């Protein structure tokens, strides 16, 4: 979150502090988790807003926005006063309340006082306007967050779904005894719970700040149906207007993903740990062979002209745009693809010149054979039907005489009806269950490569059932509308005759 999870910006970390905090967190949490990774940074980056940790976690993670903070003296006194102000209920009434599942008087929907286990001595509150969750799953997750807080020495935690942020007192890492734990001088650690099978993929996509962003741009150059998530690659396709799209997961493996693209994952995995600058990452991304999937996309990106970045962009959106801009500048000016495109351009210009010379040499011969052509074929015009006016003439099966052609060209042909363009009846919102929007060739090839045809066809069948139901409703609605129009026209005709 860039060090802003708690409303007050966390202290920034110089590289020595970052390294000490990383060692401290990984060592202390190793008692709780077997799989942990920290996204990589380029060696040139020596200033950090927070520490990110990816944690392999196989249990389901409940949603919800909540935080745990230590109780102050004021909190304890408030709890004491509220408990003494509430009269002791009748035991029989308590039993009835329990059976009916009624919330006891005095409890709140936004605060939970936890006086047991790892969150002892603190209170859990919702963030914003959400709802306080309950149940074993969320209780176990809160208990785990409390254990993590105790292990790393944090003074507070905030959870937003699978991401948990912790406040670490600066003195714990820097050894500065002059910093009071109660002050707002803290380092931030963001822990993200990730399914173990997705950990490797997530590590790759979240490293170097821009890996996932740039690879996503590469894929979208090929097809807008490719969607790259932090944990997996999917195809997203909407076969019918207004019906939820089909999402087909292609892979959750970083190795398989790179192999499909034509990138060397082992280079990323090993040599990538020594990359210093962004250009090191970019070189790895653009070394794919020209006939590979990544190579074809990179080549198109190198040729493509870019639109200027919206100056109103800010924050994370602006940083992403800057990442992409720097990559495009490097790709189109300093990458190995510059020479490839220059060579192609030279070959194209050479071939064009040869073709022009050849055409020029044959031009005299062609000019000598030119003769005056026959008069042009008369222009088709509408044929009047018996008793019709010029504006009612159909637009088929008639021709103009030479005299009429002259009048038409001189603007004197008022008596000649104008040709009308037929109205388009195609409406993208009108559903035809038998005509789903087809997949593009890139996506078809990807689905074939990953052997996901059966999964796609099964999902498409389910979408078709929904499409048929919606199409029937559309037909009924259009029939009612047409009938209402006919009735209105009939009524107006009757009124006109009165």
How far is Cα 324 from Cα 213, in angstroms, rounded to an integer? Answer: 8
Which tens digit of pLDDT belongs to each residue from 464-473?
A: 999 999 999 9
User: What is the pairing mode between strands 156-160 and 163-169?
Assistant: antiparallel
pLDDT interval class at 365 (50, 70, 90): low
Q: Give the residue extent of every domain in the chain.
A: 13-90+104-194, 198-297+429-498
How far is Cα 344 from Cα 338, in angstroms, rounded to an integer? Answer: 10
Average pLDDT, the chain: 81
Which tens digit of pLDDT belongs to each residue from 427-443?
A: 667 889 999 999 999 99
Which tens digit of pLDDT belongs to each residue from 89-102?
A: 666 766 666 666 66
Listed residue (212, 224, 287, 301) closest to 257, CA to CA: 212
What order do you get walking across the sheet with 233-237 strand by strand? 226-228, 233-237, 246-251
> Is residue 56 helix, strand or coil?
strand
Give the CA radius of gyration of the chain. Answer: 35
- 76-81 long-range contacts, Cβ below 8 Å, gap at least 24? 79/113
DSSP strands (E only) in 21-153: 36-37, 47-48, 51-56, 65-70, 111-114, 122-126
Cβ count near 283 (within 10 Å): 16
pLDDT interval class at 218 (50, 70, 90): very high
Please indicate, yes or no, whether the overall pTM of this predicted structure exceeds 0.85.
Answer: no
How far is Cα 148 from Cα 164, in angstroms, rounded to an integer? Answer: 10
DSSP strands (E only) in 57-210: 65-70, 111-114, 122-126, 156-160, 163-169, 186-194
Which tens digit of pLDDT belongs to each residue from 373-401?
A: 455 555 444 444 444 444 443 444 444 45
How far is Cα 427 from Cα 497, in angstroms, rounded to an integer? Answer: 37
Q: Determine the Cα angle at 129 with ends 50 and 117, to 5°.
A: 65
Give the CA distances from residue 391 to residues 48, 91, 394, 418, 420, in Å, rounded to whole numbers and listed in that order.
75, 91, 9, 8, 10
For 418, half-sphere exposure in the C-beta direction (CA atoms, 13 angstrom radius) is 5
- Interhelix angle 211-222/293-303, nearest 10 degrees: 90
pLDDT the model gives residue 422: 38
How far is Cα 143 from Cα 135, in angstroms, rounded to an integer? Answer: 12
SS3 sequence of 440-462: CHHHHHHHHHCCCHHHHHHHHHH
User: What is the pairing mode between strands 163-169 and 122-126?
Assistant: unpaired
CB proximity list for 284: less than 8 A, separation 6 or greater:
263, 264, 267, 268, 271, 272, 275
Q: Give kind and range of the element (H or E) at residue 234.
A: strand 233-237
pLDDT the model gives residue 403: 60
Cβ count near 440 (within 10 Å): 14
Listed residue (157, 152, 176) closest to 17, CA to CA: 176
Which tens digit of pLDDT belongs to each residue from 222-256?
A: 999 999 999 999 999 999 998 999 999 999 999 99
Residue 13 burial by Cβ neighbours in a 10 Å radius (0-12, 13-18, 19+): buried
pLDDT interval class at 63 (50, 70, 90): confident
């Amino acid at each position: 979150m860039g060090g802003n999870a708690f409303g007050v910006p966390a202290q920034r970390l110089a590289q020595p502090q970052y390294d000490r905090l990383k060692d401290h967190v990984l060592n202390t949490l190793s008692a709780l988790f077997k799989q942990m990774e920290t996204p990589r940074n380029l060696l040139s980056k020596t200033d950090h807003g927070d520490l990110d940790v990816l944690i392999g976690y196989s249990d389901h993670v409940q949603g919800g926005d909540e935080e745990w903070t230590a109780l102050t003296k004021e909190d304890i006194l408030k709890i004491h006063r509220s408990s003494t102000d509430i009269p002791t209920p009748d035991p029989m009434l308590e039993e009835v309340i329990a059976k009916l599942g009624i919330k006891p008087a005095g409890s709140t929907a936004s605060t939970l006082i936890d006086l047991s286990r790892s969150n002892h001595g603190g209170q859990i509150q919702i963030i914003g306007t959400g709802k306080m969750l309950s149940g074993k799953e969320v209780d176990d997750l809160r208990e785990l967050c409390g254990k993590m807080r105790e292990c790393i020495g944090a003074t507070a935690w905030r959870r937003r779904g699978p991401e948990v942020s912790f406040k670490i007192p600066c003195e714990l890492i820097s050894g500065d005894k002059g910093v009071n734990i109660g002050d707002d001088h803290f380092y931030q650690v963001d822990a993200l719970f990730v399914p173990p099978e997705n950990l490797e993929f997530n590590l790759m996509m979240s490293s170097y700040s821009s890996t996932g962003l740039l690879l996503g741009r590469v894929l979208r150059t090929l097809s807008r149906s490719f969607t790259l998530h932090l944990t997996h690659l999917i195809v997203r396709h909407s076969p019918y207007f207004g019906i939820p799209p089909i999402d087909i997961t292609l892979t959750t493996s970083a190795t398989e993903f790179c192999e499909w693209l034509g990138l060397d994952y082992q280079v990323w995995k090993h040599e990538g740990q020594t990359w210093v600058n962004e250009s090191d990452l970019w070189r790895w991304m653009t070394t794919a062979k020209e006939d590979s999937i990544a190579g074809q996309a990179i080549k198109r990106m190198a040729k493509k002209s870019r639109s200027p970045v919206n100056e109103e962009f800010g924050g994370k959106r602006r940083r992403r745009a800057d990442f992409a801009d720097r990559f495009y500048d490097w790709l189109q000016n300093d990458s190995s693809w510059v020479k490839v495109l220059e060579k192609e351009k030279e070959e194209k210009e050479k071939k064009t010149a040869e073709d022009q010379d050849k055409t020029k040499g044959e031009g005299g011969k062609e000019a000598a054979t030119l003769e005056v052509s026959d008069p042009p074929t008369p222009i088709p015009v509408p044929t009047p039907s018996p008793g019709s006016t010029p504006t009612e003439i159909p637009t088929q099966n008639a021709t103009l005489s030479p005299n009429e052609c002259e009048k038409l060209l001189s603007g004197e042909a008022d008596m000649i009806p104008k040709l009308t363009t037929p109205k388009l009846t195609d409406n993208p919102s009108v559903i035809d269950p038998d005509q789903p929007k087809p997949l593009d060739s890139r996506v078809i090839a990807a689905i074939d490569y990953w052997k996901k045809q059966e999964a796609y066809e099964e999902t498409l069948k389910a979408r078709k059932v929904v499409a048929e139901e919606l199409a029937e409703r559309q037909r009924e609605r259009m029939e009612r509308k047409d009938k209402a129009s006919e009735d209105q026209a009939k009524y107006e005709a009757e009124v006109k005759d009165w």
